[in-house]
Amino acid sequence: MFSMDKLGQLHDMAPQPNQDGTYASTPALPLPLASNLGAVRFDDTTLRDGEQTAHVVFSREEKLTIARMLDEVGVDQVEAGIPAMGGAERDLVEEIAHMGLRASVSGWSRAIPRDIRQTLDCGVDAIAISLPTSDIHLQAKLGKSRTWVLATIKRCVALAKETGVYVSVGAEDASRTELSFLCEYAKAAASEGANRLRFCDTVGIMDPFRMYSAIHSLRSETDLELEVHTHNDFGMAVANTLAGLHAGATWANTTIGGLGERAGNAPLEELVMALRHIEGMTMSQDTRRFTEIVGYVMAASAREVPSAKPIVGRTVFAHEAGIHADGVIKNPASYEAFAPSEVGATRSIVVGKHSGRHTLTMKFDGFGSPITPEEAGRLLPFVRNRAIELKRSLSDEELRVLRSGITL
């Protein structure tokens, strides 16, 4: 990484990012036609769906810290957990509900009156009531009819609204539910005062075009706020969420780092940055905390942040190829869509098999032992051969040792 004073000065000479993290030379992207994209609110479920990831368990201290960090980053609602599990889980939801967060605190509940009462007793200001709506779930899991579903959701919403809390109604497996029935479900929930409908792509089978169509149809049939909850089984969680938002949804359900069952959910950090830099929206979230919070949540999950993880991975702002490194040194916007500082990351220029002479001269300039372009050209084959032997890039110390042992 270029950390020496002289290289820092060279970086300072390059175009600097705007306040929003873009570069002055970055062209504005045209917004899609016929888009309903408006203000977006974030309901983060790291503490519920995120912890349902296989092999993931958060301690009490970790859950409280994550809740606080989510609030500081600027999510609108924290889905704190499942009180009906009882014991420590129930106590933690109550504790989070009384932390004094700016964000709304929601508890997740099955559509069972006993579970709903346990959730409401925690003092949350919102409740997410979930009920399957697809025929495969009704037949294989519940053995119930659509008529039963409509009656049950009405009864459960009415019960929750008795306390005046905000009610989100989840349609589990909405992406495999007949759309006409999904509209009936939304209207049944709305008739008892529900505030929001969560469209759940439970097994991650949607694509952006079908998601847009489904949410657009729901938007024309109900006045409920719409939320998109996506899974990443086919790698389209963020794209599907964006499509739902363009179609008229106003809430996005996310997790930090994309935690969630199987392949995970839509990552908060990826969605916020896509809305800011691809869609051109003004976002209020403190994106400078993204690298920190993803690192914390992944550590608490006993996982590593993948090196190429979009937005916060360690190689996202690492440049090795000669053409790329040269371009970034001259103007970061050449190969970066936004400045690394915007997400709390740093840029690095690494030396390896694909490096060029310019990178070597910059490196040794920074070391305080300059070499000429001609010397860099003679050193380059040795650098590349060593990188091939090691099957990786070279550290600064390895580069200095290599140079010291060669007569240029």
Whole-structure pTM value: 0.88
Q: What share of the chain is helix, strand, coil (3-state, %, to 5)?
A: 50, 15, 40
How many helices and strands (H and E) does the chain possess?
A: 15, 10
Cα 95 versus chain centre, distance:
25
Do 400 and 280 lie in one domain? The reply is no
Q: Tell me if residue 35 falls in helix, strand or coil.
A: coil
d(CA 182, CA 347): 47
- 334 found inside a domain: no
Phi, psi dihedrals of residue 331, rounded to the nearest 5°: -160, 105
Residue 44: C-alpha distances to residues 77, 148, 254, 255, 360 (Å): 6, 30, 5, 5, 44
165 & 277 share domain? yes
- Kindly state whether residue 371 falls inside one of the protein's structural domains: yes
Q: Is the residue at 324 inside a domain?
A: no
Does 361 lie in the same domain as 295? Answer: no
Instruction: Kindly write down the DSSP assignment for every residue of 182-223, as one continuous string.
Output: HHHHHHHHHHTT--EEEEEETT----HHHHHHHHHHHHHH--
C-alpha span between 265 and 400 (Å, rounded):
44
Where among 300, 320, 342 does a domain terminate? 300
Kindly give the residue spans of alpha helices, DSSP state H, lying in 77-130: 87-97, 113-120
Query: Do 167 and 250 lie in a common domain?
Result: yes
CATH number, domain of 171, equals: 3.20.20.70
Domain assignment of residue 138, given as a range: 41-300
> Are 204 and 291 within one domain?
yes
* Residues 175 and 252 both lie in one domain: yes
Would 185 be classed as within a structural domain?
Answer: yes
Q: What is the pLDDT of residues 341-378, one digit of tens each?
A: 999 999 988 899 999 888 999 889 889 999 999 999 99
Based on the fold, state whether residues 215 and 112 are members of the same structural domain.
yes
- Whether residue 61 lies inside any domain: the answer is yes
Q: Do 381 and 233 share a structural domain?
A: no
Instruction: State both tokens at 186.
Output: 């939304």
Shared domain check, 240 and 173: yes
283 and 375 housed in the same domain: no
Q: If you ran DSSP here, which 8-state letter would residue 13 be given?
A: H
Assigned domain for 176 exists: yes
Number of domains in the chain: 2
Which residues of the chain are under the pLDDT cut of 50? Answer: 1-15, 25, 28, 31, 33
**338 in a structural domain:** no
Which residue, of 260, 278, 300, is where some domain finishes? 300
Tokens 């009384």 correspond to 98
**Domain contains 35:** no
- Note whether 362 and 295 are same-domain residues: no
Final residue of a domain: which of 251, 282, 300? 300
pLDDT of residue 265: 98
238, 99: one domain: yes
Distances (CA, A) of 178 to 77, 142, 156, 233, 244: 29, 17, 22, 21, 17
For tokens 């499509």, what's the residue? 243
